Every structure is written in structure tokens, then in C-alpha cells.
Amino acid sequence: MTPPFRVSLTLLVVALALVPTAGGLVVDNADLTPAEVNLLFAMREYTLTYNEYADRLPGWVTGPFEDEKVNLYVTSPDGVLVIGITFYDRKIVQFDVKGCPDPIVTVTTDSATVEEVMVSDRPFDTFRAAMRNGTTTIEGNNFLGALRSGMVRFGLQVMDILRL
């Protein structure tokens, strides 16, 4: 990709990201590869669906991060894309491709898992499977984050034991 094309693409993405959506979701952007841009916009679109159903998810999953910031590290052949996710009232309200300062937890996964969750008919179960097989991890970045992420991991283990 030529540098002028990359700059144009980045400016287009930034301009589109600054346009507020009906759900109020804001995407703050940085210099991205085309694959990262595609993943980010797919996640942005999926987030609108997630936000519609966030209140139906178990409270022990969404509650610990209700009004917090989380960094998502997505590994791919292009490297690692760090996406800061800001939650408010159990919904995602902002993406920041530079990551969030002082996130409560860090979630690490690969781009294939992110895409699997987004296309799944049962995204929560797909996420659980990724946690089980180790392709997704959640780590607390401070004491409160460790407690809250531990609560989520414990809840997922209980669901697995009870075969829910």
C-alpha cells in the first residue's frame, strides 16, 4: 500500500469514526493496517448488537466492568492491535485504538477468536469456549481488576461444572 493511500485511508477512517452513531458509540482511531481497519469496523458493528443485548447477559459477567475501561489485545499475523474499550451502564461506549490508560483488566485473544464470537449464533458460549481452550485470557491490572476478573473466571468454571 502506498503511503498516500494509507494516509487517505486513515483520514477516511478517522472521519467516519468521528461521526456519532445512533447508539452514541465513538471510535477513536490511529494508524492501522487494512486488516485492522476491517476488524475494528466489524467489531464496531457487532458492538451495536451487543449493546442491545447487554442487559440479558448474566450480571456477574457484565457487572464487574459496568463503568470501567478494558484493554483488548488482538494478535494477528500483522502484530498486536490494542483496543481500549470503555463501558458505561454495561454497554460499550467507546473504542480507542491506542488503548486505555489504567484499564481495570486486559483481555488477550487472537483475531480469529474475535471473528468467531462476532459471527456466532451463541457468542457467549463461543467466548466461554475460547476461555476454556486458552485462546482468550482475562488478567486483572490492579487489585480490583484481579478480583473482578477472578469472579468472571469462577462464574464461567461453575457454568462448565454445571454444564449450563
Do 44 and 26 contact (CB within 8 A), yes or no? no
Q: Which residue in 108, 123, 113, 138 sits closest to 53, CA to CA?
A: 123
* Angstrom distance (rounded) from CA 120 to CA 140: 27
Answer yes or no: is pLDDT of 112 > 60.
Answer: yes
- The pTM is what? 0.74
Q: Over range 60-86, report the average pLDDT.
A: 85
Q: What is the pLDDT of residue 94?
A: 87
What's the confidence (pLDDT) of residue 32? 74
More confident residue, 32 or 46: 46
Question: Is residue 20 exposed (0-12), middle (13-18) or buried (19+ Cβ within 10 Å)?
Answer: exposed
Q: 10 Å Cβ neighbour count for 43? A: 22
- Specify the pairing of strand 105-110 against strand 137-140: antiparallel
Predicted confidence (pLDDT) at residue 27 exceeds the cutoff of 60:
no
Instruction: Taking the CA atoms of 80, 94, 129 and 108 in sequence, report the sign of the dihedral they define.
Output: positive
Beta bridge pairs of residue 87: 92
CA distance 155 to 164: 11
| The predicted structure's pLDDT at residue 74 | 92
Domain 3-161 belongs in CATH node 3.50.50.60: no
For residue 2, the model assigns a pLDDT of: 43
Exposure string (b/e) for 96-124, b if CB count within 10 Å is 16 or more?
A: bbebbeebbbbbbbbbebbbbbbeeeebb
| Model pLDDT, residue 30 | 53
Show the cell assigned to 2.
502506498
Evaluate whether 100 touches 69 at the Cβ level (below 8 Å).
Answer: yes
- The domain spans of the chain are 3-161
